[in-house]
Amino acid sequence: MKTVLLTGFEPFNKEPINPAWEAVRALDGWTEGGFHVVARQLPCAFGAAIDTVRAAIEELKPVLVIAVGQAGGRMDLSVERVAINVDDAPIEDNAQRQPVDQPIVAGGPAAYFSTLPIKAIVQALRAAGLPASVSQSAGTFVCNHLFYGLMHLQAKRPKMRAGFVHIPYLPEQAARHPGTASMALGQVVEGLRVAVRVSLDASVDISAGAGATH
C-alpha cells in the first residue's frame, strides 16, 4: 500500500481556522486502489514547518506529498509551479519571526520546480467543474518556504513526487473579509482527491499551456 502525505498549516494571520488543514484532515485515512492518505498539520513557522514535513517523510516514506496552504484573496485552486530560495515575510509567522531576504537553504538552488503533473491536475480539476489554474509564484512567506524545503527534500528522493497547492478562503472566512473570493470546503476536498489521483496516475505531465505574459 502506497502512502500519500497531505499537509496543511495551522491557522495564521489572526484567522481562527485554516482551510488547508480542514481540507487535508478530511482526507486523512482515505484509501483507494493501492494508496492511502495520511494528513499532517504543520506549524506556520519558518524552519519548524520544514522540520515537521521532513520528520513525516522519514516516518511515512510517501510516494507523493502535496502541501496545501491558504491564499486569502485567490479565486481558485492554484497549483504552484515553482518555489524560490528566499524568505521575505510581509507579516510575522506564528513564532513572531519575520525574515527579510534570507535564503531558505544557504547555497541551495535558486528555485525548484514542482514535480507534480501541474498541467494535468489543472485540466482534470476543470473537467471536474472545479476552478483551477497554474500559479507562477507561491509568494515569499511560509508557504513558499515550506514548498522550497519540501522540494529540497524531494531532490534526494527521486521516486517521491511533491508539490504545493494554494486554496482560497472558506466562505465563513470571506464573510469576514468583504471583497474576497471563497470556495466551499467540500469542493477543496474534492479538488485534492482529483490532484492525488492525477499525480499517482500520470507518469509524465501533459503538454498544455498555462503561462502568463507577465
* Shortest distance in whole angstroms from residue 84 CB to a second copy: 5
Residue type, 112: Y
When binding is defined by CB under 8 A, the residue of 68, 121, 143, 196 that contacts a second copy is: 143
Going by C-beta distance under 8 Å and a sequence separation of 6 or more, which residues neighbour residue 139? 71
Interacting positions 59-118 with a second copy (CB under 8 A): 69-76, 81-82, 84-91, 98, 100-101, 109-113
Q: In this complex, which beta carbon is closest to a second copy, that of residue 4 or of residue 124? A: 124
Of the candidates 19, 29, 38, the residue with the CA atom closest to the CA atom of residue 189: 19
Segment interacting with a second copy, rule: CB under 8 A, options 29-37, 55-63, 178-186, 195-203 = 178-186
Q: Which of 143, 152, 177, 190 is catalytic?
A: 143
* Shortest distance in whole angstroms from residue 97 CB to a second copy: 12
Interface with a second copy, residue 22, by CB under 8 A: no
- Tell me the DSSP string of 176-200: TSTT--B--HHHHHHHHHHHHHHHH
CB 108 within 8 A of CB 85: yes
Active site residue 177: no
Burial 180-203 (b: 16+ CB within 10 A, else e): eebbebebbbbbbbbbbbbbbebe
Residues near a second copy, by CB under 8 A: 13, 69-76, 81-82, 84-91, 98, 100-101, 109-113, 119, 125-126, 128-133, 136-141, 143-144, 166, 171-172, 174-176, 178-184, 186-187, 205, 207-214
Which sequence positions are flagged as catalytic?
80, 143, 166
